[in-house]
Amino acid sequence: MKQISIIGAGFAALSAARKLRELDANAEITLIAPKAELIFLPSLIWIPSGKRRAEDVRIPLDRFLRDNRIRFFAGEATGLENSGRTVLTGSGKVVNEGLIIASGGRFIKKLPGIEHAILPCEGIAAAEKIRERVAALGQGNIALGFAGNPNEPSAMRGGPIFEFLFGLDTQLRREGRRDKIGLTFFNPMPNPGNRLGARAVQRLMAEIERRNIKKQLGHKLVGFEADKVKTEGGEFAADLIIFMPGLTGNAWFDQTGLPRSAGGLVKADAQCRVEGMPAVYVIGDSGSFPGPDWMPKQAHMADLQGETAAANLLTELDGGKPEQTFKVELLCIVDSLDAGILVRRTQDSEMSLPPVGPMHFAKAFFEAWYLRKFR
């Protein structure tokens, strides 16, 4: 019976766990995370408008764990011993014959005054804070932007900011408050969103223009204050700042011998194997993988990597050579509460459709379809 540990309880971790159980009915699988719950991050964009509540996006994993005969160990990883064969946590040690690291990424919080900004993908509490601040705002300006990891182009997540931006515009118009509350999109790059593809950038910029959203682009960010955003090109007023920094590796990586990329993530090969560490794999936001610089940090990519790592780990534990690779694909719907822009990018093609109402409902349908495995 193979002993396999998975660190994390997000998309990548759960996809790996499901695939492991599908391929090996007898493996002893242990999921290590602070809580046995999945936070469905893609739906945080709907919390400010009230379309979703905390209980809608916080999914208990008890039934999933029981049905798949997965042991849950409540603890937060703090380090590794014995070349990954022992996981150290604040609650004790967990031994394994194979390890999959799927503990997500960590936002870079080096900008001066970043405490004045809300980082929406930090979780439910952040999205609820946006809802409360927007509800209390009688007039003024809301600034929304994102940045990357200068040492790792792929370690960023900008798509949700466009969704918060367009969603807030729709929400404020529905509430009859848009004429009193301005929206400003800021980014240090002159063409933000280019990782989605040239066509997608054109559509996003056209949508910003159509919605009369101001832009502050192409100037390096200097910092934030309680009521302003500061860039090398000047500063502008902001009564609420919603910001998505670049990603880097988890703090606990520093207490290990894990090989790191220039951006601080765990270095992996095309099979998701951690360099120089037998039977240790990394997936999702924790890892740095070979491939195009537009490779996304999103749930879909994490799912693909999770399934690949699971298959390769079992092959390795059986004495074989792991050869399976994951498909590099960006697939998302940029939602605006009343419509959605479908974007798909592969190494061979780019596609971006105009915003249409059915795509909004398609995103909600996908949420229900995806979560049926866990509810």
- What is the pLDDT at residue 191? 85
Query: At 76, which CATH number?
Result: 3.50.50.60
Number of domains comprising the chain: 2
Domain assignment of residue 372, yes or no: no
| Mean pLDDT over each residue of the chain, to the nearest integer | 96
**Global confidence as pTM:** 0.95
pLDDT digits (tens, 9 = 90+) for 157-189: 889 999 999 999 999 999 999 999 999 999 999
Q: Are residues 53 and 118 in the same domain?
A: no
Q: What value does the mean pLDDT take over residues 18-26?
A: 98
**pLDDT exceeds 90 at position 289:** yes
Q: Are residues 149 and 213 in the same domain?
A: yes
**pLDDT exceeds 90 at position 375:** no
Q: What value does the mean pLDDT take over residues 198-212?
A: 94
**pLDDT exceeds 90 at position 84:** yes
Q: Are residues 142 and 45 in the same domain?
A: no
Domain assignment of residue 373, yes or no: no
**pLDDT exceeds 90 at position 193:** no
pLDDT digits (tens, 9 = 90+) for 272-283: 999 999 999 999
- What is the pLDDT at residue 153? 82
Q: What value does the mean pLDDT take over residues 14-42?
A: 98
Domain assignment of residue 51, yes or no: yes
Domain assignment of residue 356, yes or no: no
Q: Are residues 254 and 174 in the same domain?
A: no
* Structural domain that includes position 275: 3-106+247-317
Contact 249, 260 (CB under 8 A): yes
- What is the pLDDT at residue 157? 87
